[in-house]
Structure 1
C-alpha cells in the first residue's frame, strides 16, 4: 500500500539502487495528531529487520550535489558556503531549479512546500508564544543575514549557474526559508563514509544522528546487536578536535528515511550507516497496522513546535496532559538582575558583574534548564551562591577555579524562589487562565492551540518547582525555629554574656 503521489518517487528510489520491502512497509495519511503522512507496517516486522536501504549516492548533501564543484571549491569555501546550512540550502535550491535534469527531481517534488512552524507564523500567532524561548530561537534574522551576505552575492557572481530569469522563482528569500525548514525538519547528521574499500562482509558502523540541529535524533542505547557506537561525543578537548568532528559529520537529506514520523516514546525503527549505504532497521517488533516511528530523541514541545510544527500531548501524572520531556529555560541574567534588585548597592553591582564574567569564562551556563523532575538546576544554585560569597571567599573560589557547591540554604532558596516567580511572570497569562482557555475553547485555531500547549507545559514545571522550593524553605525555617525554642536558657545566657564582654 503506497500513496499514489509517492509511486514515481519509489520507482526512482529503487531504480537508483535503493531497496525497500514494500510487502512490509507502506505509506498512508495518518491523522494530524499522528503526524500526517507516514509509514505503516503491512505485516508483522521483527526486531532487527531491515526495512529499506539507501545508497549514499542517493543522499542529498553538499558532498553529493555537483553544484560546489561547478561553482569552484575554493570560491565555495572563500564565500563560507561550507559553513552552516547556507551551502546545503543553495544546493537544494539549485537542484530544484534543474527540474527533471536533477538527479533528485523525483525526491524534491515530494518534499513539503508549506510549514506550520512558528518561522511562518504572523505576529498575532507569535504573541501566543510570549514567555517561551521559541521565538528567540527561530533564527529568522540570522538566516536572512546569511541569505543576503553569503547566498545572494554567490548567486550574482555566477549567472551561468544561476540565470537571472530564474532568481525570483527558485532563489527568493521565501524559497530560502522553505528550503531551510525542509532541512530543519527532515535532515540527518551522517558521518562521512570512508574512501577505502571494505574487505569481506560489511558490518553496521553506527547510527545516523539528528541531534546537532538537524531533524530527528537517535538513542544510542537501543542499537541492534553488533552495531558499534561511532557517534560524535560532546567532550572534545580543543577547537581542533571540534573542527575535525564537524568535518566528519555531514548534514544530509535522506530519501525515504525522512518519510517516517516520530512521537514521544514511540520509536521502533532507526537509521544506521555503513560505509556505502544507510539502513533503516526495526529496533523492536512492529505489529501489522502499526505506524513505523523514527525518533526526535523525545524533544520538549517547544522544540517540536519550532522544528516540526507540532506538539506531543500525552497523559501526565494526575489528570493533566502534555509532554513528559518538556523543559523551561531560565537565563542567568534573570538570576543576576534579581540578586541586584535585592542588594541595591553600586559596589555589589560591580562585583557581581565581575563574578558573572568569571563564571562564563570558566564555562558556566548562561541558560539553565528546569525539567519535569522539578529540581532547581545545580548550576543555577551554584551561580546564586557565587553571587552571595563574601569578598574573601570569592577570591578563594577564583584562585581555585571552582564555583561554590550547589548546596541550597535559606538565602539561596529565597532568591531562587523570586527568580522562579519572575520567570512565571514573563508569560502574559496564568496557568489557571490557560487551563480554562483549553477547556472553554476546544475549537481554537491550530497555532493558538499548539502555543497554549507549549506554555502550559512550561508553567506546570515552573509552578511545581516553585512549590517544591517553597516547601523546602518552610520546612527549613520550621526546623530552625524548633531548634531555637529547644535551646536551653543557660546556653542563651552564656551567649549573651560573651557578646557583652566583647
Structure 2
C-alpha cells in the first residue's frame, strides 16, 4: 500500500515537472478494491467543458519522442506503428532510471487479466465464445521472434543501454507485456495540423485519416471507461492533448472515458475486465460452417446447390468467416440484430431455383426487407444450434455465477476466481443475446405465417414503384 501510494505521488510530481497542467479539482485514486487499479476522481464540482488536464505532445510516449528514433531511425521507419511502439517501450523500460518516462513506467501494470495471459484451463471457461479465436498469442509470439528479437540481436549495444543483457525468453515476455499495455492503454495519436497534408480543397488524405500512430498518454490512460457514465473526452490540439469534462461532474465522482460500443468479450480480450454497463453491446459470432450446416439440415436445398450458390455469393463479396448476432434492443428491427451479410446469405440460399438463377443472371443480391417465415424459421434453428455449442445452459451459468459470488466478496476474490467470474459473465451475455433473439424470431415467424396466409387470401402484385395493387383472380 505504501509503495503503491509512493509511486502515485512520484508520478504526479513527474507530471508537474513535465509541464503537464493539472486541474486542482481532480486526484489520482487507489481503486484496486474494485479491480480497477488507479483512477481519476473529482475532489470538487466540475462544470461542463472544464479542462481536467493538459498533456504536452512531447510527454507522450511515442516513437518520435524517444531518443531511439535518432539512434535507429531506419529500423523504426521499417516497422508498423504498433511494433515500433513495442520496441520503443522495451528500450525505455530497459533504460531504467535513465528513461525520462521512468515514473510513468512505475505506475503501469506488471500483470494483466487480458486473455493473452489466461491459462488454457481458464480460457476453456469461455466455452464456445468466438473471442477465444481472437487472442492471437501464437501470431504475436511469431512476430516478436521474427521482428523484435533480431533487432535486439543486431543492436544490443544500443538497446541494452546499461549492458544489462537479458535472455530471448525474457525479451519475449517483455514484448508481450508491452504489447498488452499498448492494447489496454494506448491512444490513436492524431497528427499536428502542421504535419497533415491537405489537398486544394482543404481535405486530408485518406492515409492521414486512417493510419494514426499509437501512443501512450500519461494520466489520460488512467481514466477508467464506462459506457453509461462517460463524462470526459480527450481533445487533440496543435501542441497538446486536452482532457475536458463533457458534462458536470460532482465532487467524489470518478472521471470516465469511453471505449465505444464494445461487447464484453472484447473488453475482456483487450482490457482485462468486464462490466454490466457494456452488456447491451454483447455480440455472438456465428461461424460460416454452422450456418451452412443449419441450411443443409433444413433439407430444402442440396449440398451441391448450396455450394453452387455460395460460389456466386462469394464472388459478390457477401461470404464471411463469421456473422454477428447482436443483443436485441427493444423495438429495433430484426435487421439490426442480425448482420446484413447473414440475412442476405440465408435469403439467397432459400430462394426457389428459378428465382435465384434469374437474380444471378442480373448480377443482383436479395433485397432484405420484411423477413419471411422460412427465413425466420431457419434463423431460429441457427440460433439454437449456436447455443448448443456451449457446454452449459444459461440456467447452469446463472447458478454457477450466483454460487461464486456468494462464496466470495469482490475484495477477496483470487485472480483465478475473478477470471472465472468474468468468463461466466461473458458467456451469460452471449447466451442471453441468443435467447432474446430466438424469442423475437418465434414471434416474427408467427406474424409472418399469418401475413403470408393473408397474402394468399388477398393476392397482390407489386409495381415497379413499390406500391401494391390487387391482382385479378379467376
Question: Residue 142 in 1 paired to residue 114 in 2?
Answer: no
Deviations 1:427-482 (A, max 9, x none): 11100111122223323611111110111111111011111111221333355568
Question: Residue 246 in 1 paired to residue 210 in 2?
Answer: yes
Flag the 1:162–1:483 CA change in 2: closer, same or farther, 3 A: closer
Question: Which of 327, 334, 345 is the aligned partner of 1:371?
Answer: 327
Cα distance in 1 for partners of 2:5, 2:311 equals 61
Flag the 1:288–1:398 CA change in 2: closer, same or farther, 3 A: same
Deviation of 1:35 after TM superposition, in Å, equals: 2.5
Aligned to 1:350: 307
Cα distance in 2 for partners of 1:481, 1:391 equals 23
Cα distance in 2 for partners of 1:13, 1:464 equals 48
Aligned to 2:20: 18
Flag the 1:450–1:333 CA change in 2: closer, same or farther, 3 A: same
Question: Which of 284, 293, 315 is the aligned partner of 1:337?
Answer: 293
Aligned to 2:467: none
Cα distance in 2 for partners of 1:257, 1:482 equals 59
Question: Residue 410 in 1 paired to residue 367 in 2?
Answer: no
Note if contact 1:268-1:293 (Cα within 8 Å) is conserved in structure 2. yes
SS of 2:193 mapped into structure 1: coil
Flag the 1:485–1:195 CA change in 2: closer, same or farther, 3 A: closer
Deviation of 1:325 after TM superposition, in Å, equals: 2.3
Deviation of 1:421 after TM superposition, in Å, equals: 0.8
TM-score normalised to structure 1 length: 0.79
Deviations 1:109-147 (A, max 9, x none): 211111111211111111111111221111212211110
In the TM superposition, 1:399-438 aligns within 5 A as 400-406=362-368, 407-438=370-401
Question: Residue 326 in 1 paired to residue 325 in 2?
Answer: no
TM-score normalised to structure 2 length: 0.83
Aligned to 2:224: 261
More displaced 10-residue stretch of structure 1: 269-278 or 164-173: 164-173
In the TM superposition, 1:384-403 aligns within 5 A as 384-398=346-360, 400-403=362-365
Flag the 1:395–1:243 CA change in 2: closer, same or farther, 3 A: farther
Moved over 6 A (4+): 482-487
Question: Residue 48 in 1 paired to residue 11 in 2?
Answer: no
Flag the 1:473–1:91 CA change in 2: closer, same or farther, 3 A: same
More displaced 10-residue stretch of structure 1: 136-145 or 448-457: 136-145
Cα distance in 1 for partners of 2:20, 2:356 equals 62
Flag the 1:484–1:387 CA change in 2: closer, same or farther, 3 A: closer
In the TM superposition, 1:427-466 aligns within 5 A as 427-442=390-405, 443=407, 445-466=417-438
SS of 1:404 mapped into structure 2: coil
Cα distance in 2 for partners of 1:162, 1:120 equals 26
SS of 1:303 mapped into structure 2: helix
Deviation of 1:289 after TM superposition, in Å, equals: 0.8
Note if contact 1:134-1:302 (Cα within 8 Å) is conserved in structure 2. yes
Flag the 1:368–1:14 CA change in 2: closer, same or farther, 3 A: same
Aligned to 2:239: 276
Cα distance in 2 for partners of 1:450, 1:400 equals 49
The unaligned stretches of length 5 or more in structure 2 are 197-201, 409-416, 460-473
| Aligned alpha-carbon RMSD (Å) | 2.9
Deviations 1:18-59 (A, max 9, x none): 1112x2011112364472321111111111111110000000
Note if contact 2:284-2:325 (Cα within 8 Å) is conserved in structure 1. yes
Question: Residue 121 in 1 paired to residue 77 in 2?
Answer: no
Deviation of 1:257 after TM superposition, in Å, equals: 0.7
Q: How many residues align?
A: 433
Note if contact 1:40-1:292 (Cα within 8 Å) is conserved in structure 2. yes
Deviation of 1:97 after TM superposition, in Å, equals: 0.8
SS of 1:147 mapped into structure 2: helix
The unaligned stretches of length 5 or more in structure 1 are 198-229, 233-240, 315-321, 488-497
Deviation of 1:290 after TM superposition, in Å, equals: 0.8
